Amino acid sequence: MLYFSKIKIITIYSIIIILAFFAILNFNNNKDHFLLSKKINLGLDLQGGSYLLLEVDSQPVIKQKIQNKLLLLRNILKEKKIKYENLKIIQDSIYFNIDKKNIAEFEKFFLNKDNTFNEYYDQYKEYELNLSIDENSLNISYSKFGIIEIKKTTLSQSLEIVRRRIDEVGTNDPTIIRRGNNRILVELPGLSNPNRVKDLLGKTANLTFRFVSDEDGEFGNETIFFENEDKSSKVNKRVILNGDNLINAKATFDNVNNESVVTFALDRIGTKKFAKATQKNVGKRLAIILDNKIINAPQIREPIVGGNGQITGNFTFQSATDLALLLRSGALPAPLEIVEERTVGPDLGEDSIKAGTISLLIGFLLVIIFMVIKYRFLGIISDLALITNLTLLIGILTLLEATLTLPGIAGIILTVGMAVDANVLIFERIKEEMKTENSIIHAFDMGYTKAKTAVLDANVTTLISAIILFFLGSGPVKGFAITLGVGILTTLFSAYFFARHLSSFYVMRNKDKKIII
Amino acid sequence: MIFNISKSINFTQHYKKLNILSATLICLSIAVLVFKGLNLGVDFKGGTLIELRVENTSVNISDIRSSFLKMNLGDVTVKKFGKNNDYLVKFEQESSKNKNQIKIINDQLTSDLNENINFRRVENVGPKVSNELLKAGLLAITLSLAAMLFYIWIRFEWQFSLGAIVAIVHDVVITLGIFSLLSYEINLSIIAAVLTIVGYSMNDTVVIFDRIRENLRKFTSLKIIEISNISTNETLSRTLITSITTLLALFSIFIFGGAILEGFSFAMIVGVIIGTYSSIFVATPLLNYTNVNYKTVTKEEINENV
């Protein structure tokens, strides 16, 4: 165990030097090079920032979709000249009755893999919808896979909109990723007051233009409240135009009326629709509705044909900016709920870094001093191994561009405390061997050999804990799992390669002297 | 020389009374856990946590408490946290619908106390997420116990697995019992601590077991009780030194690491001490009760050679 070939020595020290180089990179400010720019990232708990977990509620989307299916079904039944009655939706299922003789025909159409009504998913080998038949009454509802597909698309659309909105706010290096099948994780480093972002993400931003009307028209009316006021107004259910047709929106200051306004531009289809509607309805009031609240309901004085409009509504410049941002980034397909929020202020982060560093230094010094007192010269070897161990650990974390959290720092300190264990196991074994062995070299050799299984067994158990924590833990705890796990690997390396080489070097030099450990 | 432990302590004579002590402690811990329960933090119970700093030292805790009580936030607890004028406020939030709640609370507090209030940390966990975190935490502990059991089962004989698992369960139950007794908060980092304790305790036990197995093969005529004593003595200085260096690091975190890491390092300190004790006085005695002898470990060797 004490013999090292040249190649082995070169490999060991090259690994140490390379990882030490990466550890040093943390103090370097190179931002361009793909390798030289590598750094350990600080977690939100250390640099301050906001963590938001958003949940997409796809229930309204399912409701909307089944409504669309109903309209589609009605057309299909008409087209196929199948008489139907009692067509209605109860709890997200379509119910209707048809004549028994038509059931086979309908079922054949329903199960045709190319039909436009009930999509067939090749990847699941399943249909979008389920059909159940009881006598002459039929029931259509979304299948498990239909709902999975809806959730999937709703989530990816929401993710896109969230990304656009956050990009517009302009925070540093935001992380926006999907979590599970209905959640979005947003990390905003450096943001200590997430109120504005929460406001922006909390709005669906569903914009519609609808006429204010008192008489019940073809589509019926509904009562909608004004924003910031208790007033309400009757508004026709027919949507003249919605946010989808917007191509741009900007907050500007209207010098004539001395107020902040939002100007918008419509796409070609929107322009046409808007022109047609406003030409016919000069004199009427057009309600601008955002998320079921009327922002304003101005009177149409003249037809708007250019595709440009302006929304006024007692905005501050900030609220006009936010509205423009929401309109530009588009509507969310479904409302988002913030199910978890963690915000750390920058000063607490700084305090945590300070406390973490101090406790690391003190823990490190205590262990180093203890080892020298206990094992004298071999203690110095194990201390050198400990320093190497820390350097390797930091080097690997840098290479992985891992995120360091406060529990992660605790993991490093714990590694310091537990890392010497490998050397202690070996030294104690050597001590025992020396009682029966005359040759020091042989005692060292036996010590390393015999302690091997214990060292491995002992470290594997902690590694198992670290791996489980990594997969099941979240956020800061994951950071702990990473440092603990990588720490075990570097500990094994530094004890069995680096410290062993140092010991062999030391023993070979002193083979004739009596070594006391 | 310090920590040069004499190598002839008779551990085995203490087995009985210490086992009774351990059994009593486990029963007491379970009783405390059942009747008093754990003080679950917002991570697992849901609700809101605010760590705030008041610049003016003349503001006292009851001012802050009364201001919060006025806001109708349900059950509010306010306590001092760490140094300076830091306080930790927790409440079960009535509704997560109000997205500006934190701002409203800050405004209200600022006007009530007439002071600048700095919200250093805000954590808000909804009921769904806290439920999931709790499940994930319990799953993590169960999984790690199972993984340890499996690992030691493939490395040793079943008698050894039994001893190790009993020791780990002993450590986890007593640590949680102490947390319950002291009403310390259980949050995500405590779960991390518990898992690390599981790993650490296992590590300690495995080292002694490894030696026992070796000695069983070496001294085939000795009984397990003598082997246990020899092996415990032989590994004792390692057991103690590793515990000491780990505890040095942990005390450093506990004292200097700031209030956030206090619970974590406390749990680890308790766990390391109990884990060290249990390797010697819980795991090893169990080998005696299950009649382990040299055949138990040599049989394994023969199988391996086949």
pLDDT for position A386: 93
The tokens for A391 are 């350097």
pLDDT for position B111: 85
pLDDT (tens digit per residue) in A325-374: 888 888 888 888 888 989 998 889 999 999 999 999 999 999 999 999 98
Contact at 8 Å (CB) between A440 and A434? yes
Domain final residue, candidates A183, A202, A221: A202
Distance CA A61, CA A64 (A): 5
Distance from CA of A22 to the nearest CA of B (A): 25
Contact B128 A339 (CB under 8 A): yes
pLDDT for position B299: 61
Contact A469 B126 (CB under 8 A): no
Q: Indicate if A432 and A362 belong to the same structural domain.
A: yes
Residue B2: pLDDT band (50, 70, 90) is: very low
B51 contact residues in A (CB cutoff 8 A):
348
**What's the CATH code, domain B47-125?**
3.30.70.3400
**Using CB atoms, which residue from B51, B199, B253 is nearest to A359?**
B253
**Using CB atoms, which residue from A356, A421, A469 is nearest to B242?**
A421
Over range A438-455, report the average pLDDT. Answer: 86
Over range A24-53, report the average pLDDT. Answer: 84
Residue B306: pLDDT band (50, 70, 90) is: very low
Partner B contacted by A466 (CB < 8 A)? yes
- Tell me which residue range forms the domain holding A307: 208-330
Reply yes or no on whether the pLDDT at A86 is more than 90.
no
The tokens for A455 are 């060292």
**Using CB atoms, which residue from A339, A428, A468 is nearest to B147?**
A468
Reply yes or no on whether the pLDDT at A216 is more than 70.
no
Q: Give ranges for CATH 1.20.1640.10 in chain B.
A: 12-40+130-305
Distance CA A203, CA B99 (A): 11
Q: Which residue of A has its CA nearest to B255?
A: A359
Q: Indicate if A279 and A136 belong to the same structural domain.
A: no
What does each C-alpha distance from B9 to A509, B209, B229, B234 come to in angstroms?
A: 37, 18, 8, 10
Tell me, letter by letter, the H, E, C secondary structure of B231-293.
HHHHHHHHHHHHHHHHHHHHHHHHHHCCHHHHHHHHHHHHHHHHHHHHHHHHHHHHHHHCCCC
Reply yes or no on whether the pLDDT at B151 is more than 90.
no
What does each C-alpha distance from A416 to A111, B1, B238, B265 come to in angstroms?
A: 65, 23, 16, 14
**Neighbour-count burial of A49, counting CB atoms closer than 10 A to its CB (0-12 exposed, 13-18 middle, 19+ buried):** buried
ipTM of the complex: 0.87
Reply yes or no on whether the pLDDT at A387 is more than 90.
yes
Q: Which residue of A has its CA nearest to B210?
A: A454
Residue B73: pLDDT band (50, 70, 90) is: confident
**Using CB atoms, which residue from A352, A355, A458 is nearest to B207?**
A458
pLDDT (tens digit per residue) in A115-146: 788 888 888 888 888 888 888 888 999 989 98
Q: Indicate if A354 and A386 belong to the same structural domain.
A: yes
pLDDT for position B305: 46
Over range B87-111, report the average pLDDT. Answer: 77
pLDDT (tens digit per residue) in B282-302: 999 998 888 887 777 776 555
pLDDT (tens digit per residue) in A225-277: 888 777 888 888 888 888 888 888 889 888 888 888 899 998 899 899 888 88
- Which residue, among B161, B260, B301, B304, would best test binding to A if mutated, counting the most A CBs under 10 Å from its CB? B260
Q: Indicate if A67 and A99 belong to the same structural domain.
A: yes
Query: Is the domain defined by B12-40+130-305 classed in CATH 1.20.1640.10?
Result: yes
Q: Which residue of B has its CA nearest to A370?
A: B245
State how many domains chain A has. 4
Q: Indicate if A266 and A387 belong to the same structural domain.
A: no
**Residue A294 three-state SS:** strand
Kindly state whether residue A338 falls inside one of the protein's structural domains: no
Interfacial A residues in 434-463 facing B (CB < 8 Å) = 450, 453-454, 457-463
pLDDT for position B3: 47
What does each C-alpha distance from A294 to A100, A172, A203, B98, B210 come to in angstroms?
A: 48, 34, 14, 20, 75
Over range A474-502, report the average pLDDT. Answer: 89
B194 contact residues in A (CB cutoff 8 A):
none
Q: Indicate if A318 and A258 belong to the same structural domain.
A: yes
Q: Indicate if A225 and A291 belong to the same structural domain.
A: yes
Distance CA B206, CA B167 (A): 11
Kindly state whether residue A314 falls inside one of the protein's structural domains: yes
Max mean pLDDT range (A77-86, A444-453, B128-137, B271-280): B271-280
Kindly state whether residue A335 falls inside one of the protein's structural domains: no
A492 contact residues in B (CB cutoff 8 A):
none
